[in-house]
Chain A
Amino acid sequence: GAVVSQHPSRVICKSGTSVKIECRSLDFQATTMFWYRQFPKQSLMLMATSNEGSKATYEQGVEKDKFLINHASLTLSTLTVTSAHPEDSSFYICSASGGVGDQPQHFGDGTRLSIL
């Protein structure tokens, strides 16, 4: 149980392209989803917290207009990197929590984004 599916696993595209990443909870309802960015050999950097039906809460330094998050249902959250540039190249991972409070997070497989 507690499976989180993230797509696509890898994206290579030209600078200026917008890229959408999907995160789905397959067998549970995700009240909260988190979006992380991870650089090589570094920890998970929280970008934003997404709650179903409400606006995402972004961490300091993360541009809301650059990284659009939509959490339209209890099983789906999307991250759109708008007008991506080479510096946006990174590993993006989502996670989902099934309840409020001290619940374990379940991670997606991540998306390797490469902007040429």
Chain B
Amino acid sequence: GENVEQHPSTLSVQEGDSAVIKCTYSDSASNYFPWYKQELGKRPQLIIDIRSNVGEKKDQRIAVTLNKTAKHFSLHITETQPEDSAVYFCAALGGSYIPTFGRGTSLIVHP
């Protein structure tokens, strides 16, 4: 089955800095890669996703890149703000249509 590795587990940045979270996957059949943000005690919320037919997608301060050859994808947050502090999960979906989640990255943005 699919295996998704996510790094780092914790990321601490100063307000205004950029943050990058990286994920790798094992199943070459995976073709959909969503990213979720989960604030403490709340539901995970989809913040951006990318499909295998594109290499990059951007939405304001958030961007995701995908390298299918290397089987890795990354989340980039620019001009971080304290409200960006949360746990971020990457996921990969392939032929089984069952998502596999990474272990999560706790992002802390210091004012």
Contacts and interface: CB of A to CB of B under 8 A. Distances in A.
Contacts of A105: 34, 46, 99
Nearest to A94: B43
A104 B104 CA distance: 18
Interface string A79-100: 0000000000000010001001
B51 interface: yes
B98 A46 contact: yes
| Residue picked from B34, B44, B45, B89, most chain A C-beta under 10 Å | B44
> Which bracket fits the contact residues of B?
20 to 34
B89 A44 contact: yes
Interface in B37-60: 41-46, 49, 51
B97 A100 contact: yes
Interface in B75-111: 89, 93, 97-99, 101-104, 106
Contacts of A49: 98
Interface of A: 32, 34, 41-44, 46, 49, 93, 97, 100-110, 112
Interface of B: 31-32, 34, 36, 41-46, 49, 51, 89, 93, 97-99, 101-104, 106
9 contacts: A32-B97, A41-B106, A43-B103, A44-B44, A93-B43, A93-B44, A102-B32, A104-B49, A110-B43
